[in-house]
Structure 1
Amino acid sequence: MTTAADWIARLGLEPHPEGGWFRRIYTDSRVLATPGGDRAAASSIHYLLERRSPIGRLHRNRSTILHYLQHGGPVDYYLVEADGGLRTVTLGTAPGQQLFLEVPGGVWKASQLPADVSHALVSEVVLPGFDYADHDFMNLSQLAGEYPQHLQALSALVR
């Protein structure tokens, strides 16, 4: 059985600012003009949550992100939709779970391993490619001010 430590070593993963572990594995050589400046047409990472780091903090990106479960799981995603609603999606292999998740640009998202799960390895494709200038973290005061209806559900997932 492949463990989280095995994946971290095998894939050369490093700590991610959102939580968990990651490594960029692809950056498209084609460049697109975006409102934030020139960006690669696409980029991709491996992203791992595990028991020592089971939370991907609430954040948003300008770009659309496609998530694919590769190993382990399930992992729960929390999405604050444009209308302010909260949607939960579980990436996993059981009935009612998904292997793939699209998160449109501008949507706040967080991820979390259920308590009994050792790890989840997810690959992500970002369109147009990821740039830290296009990334925002949510903080507790912002969550309380903008989405007070979700404060109880999401407060453990912010910085």
Structure 2
Amino acid sequence: MNKNIDYWIKNLNLAPHPEGGYFIETTKSDHTIDLPQGTRALYTSIIFLLTANNPSHFHRLTSDETWFYHAGDPLTVHCIFPDGHYEAIKIGPNIDQGEQLSYTVPKNTIFGSSVTSGFSIVSCVVSPGFDYRDFELFTQQDLLSQYPQHAEVIKALAYQEIPNN
């Protein structure tokens, strides 16, 4: 059976994510941690599906996020680090071609992810746990004013306007 995007969305009960792609929360720790911005779960986990036409747009978290490859095509995590430098990290099964099976995006890094063709399925674990209060989406204008040297990737992965969800 050829498992296409619709198969995965239906059978994993995925829903649209505000940053792009489709997701479902799979784990939320019963343990919590007190942070300056409030109490958070110790960790959370989602399954995340991205497509060539529906990438993860540039955003920032106040926690580390580790991505684990599961199925489909490789994807690229595009990072603009706090010091302003840019890196593209390939996640996928082809380790002999420089891809990694997992990658941790450090907290306070602006990042998004793209798939060149088809789709990719990953898990993302956030620690301390994900909370929308710690999530910041960016527009092209926000990022171009700070990082004009990264205009090409910003225009590809930042919203022109933040969608109303």
Which interval holds the TM-score relative to the shorter structure?
A: over 0.9
Q: Distance in 2 between matches of 1:65 and 1:58?
A: 14
Q: Which residue of 2 aligns with 1:25?
A: 26
Please list every run of 5 or more consecutive structure 2 residues that lacks an aligned counterpart in the other structure: 160-165
Equivalences, count: 156
Q: Distance in 2 between matches of 1:93 and 1:51?
A: 18
Select which of 95, 101, 104 maps to 1:102.
Answer: 104
Q: Is the 8 A contact 1:20 1:50 kept in 2?
A: yes
Moved over 3 A (4+): none
Matches within 5 A, 1:1-159: 1-53=2-54, 55-94=55-94, 95=96, 96-114=98-116, 117-159=117-159
1:77, distance to aligned residue in structure 2 (A): 1.1
- Measured at CA, do residues 145 and 75 of structure 1 come closer, stay the same or move farther in structure 2, by a change above 3 Å? same
Q: Is the 8 A contact 2:62 2:107 kept in 1?
A: yes
Q: Is the 8 A contact 2:40 2:129 kept in 1?
A: yes
> What TM-score, normalized by structure 1, do the two folds share?
0.94
Q: Distance in 2 between matches of 1:153 and 1:120?
A: 19
Letter in 2 for 1:98: Q
Name the stretch that deviates more: 40-49 or 133-142: 133-142
Letter in 2 for 1:97: E
Q: Is the 8 A contact 2:144 2:154 kept in 1?
A: no
Q: Is the 8 A contact 1:73 1:91 kept in 2?
A: no
Q: Distance in 2 between matches of 1:101 and 1:44?
A: 14
Post-superposition Cα deviations, 1:109-142, rounded to whole Å, max 9, x if no partner, equal 011111xx21100101110100000010111111
Identity %: 32
Name the stretch that deviates more: 131-140 or 145-154: 145-154
The Cα RMSD (Å) is 1.0
Q: Distance in 1 between matches of 2:153 and 2:27?
A: 34
> What TM-score, normalized by structure 2, do the two folds share?
0.91
Helix, strand or coil at the partner of 2:18: coil
Post-superposition Cα deviations, 1:28-49, rounded to whole Å, max 9, x if no partner, equal 0101011210000000000001
Letter in 2 for 1:90: K
- Measured at CA, do residues 51 and 86 of structure 1 come closer, stay the same or move farther in structure 2, by a change above 3 Å? closer
